[in-house]
């Protein structure tokens, strides 16, 4: 069973992909694959932030 990714891990992977793209270290053959991975990581991070925001709002309302 695959462990659940943490927000920090996803962000680090995304930063790595962006860094390689900025440095021109992505070859054309893997660029599309890396862009798909980046899209998944962005969605994961956005979803995690939204969930955390909702949890904080719920806690604050019940406090």
Q: What is the pLDDT of residue 9?
A: 96
Distance of CA 7 to the CA centre of its chain: 7
Q: How far apart are CA 48 and CA 63, in angstroms?
A: 22
6 φ/ψ angles, rounded to the nearest 5 degrees: -90, 155
Instruction: Give the pTM.
Output: 0.80
pLDDT digits (tens, 9 = 90+) for 30-59: 889 999 999 999 999 999 999 999 999 999
């Amino acid at each position: 069973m695959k462990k659940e990714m943490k927000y920090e891990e996803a962000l680090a992977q995304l930063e790595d992909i962006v860094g390689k793209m900025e440095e021109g270290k992505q070859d054309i053959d893997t660029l599309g694959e890396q862009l798909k991975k980046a899209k998944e990581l962005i969605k994961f991070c956005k979803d995690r932030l939204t969930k955390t925001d909702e949890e904080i709002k719920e806690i604050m309302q019940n406090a």
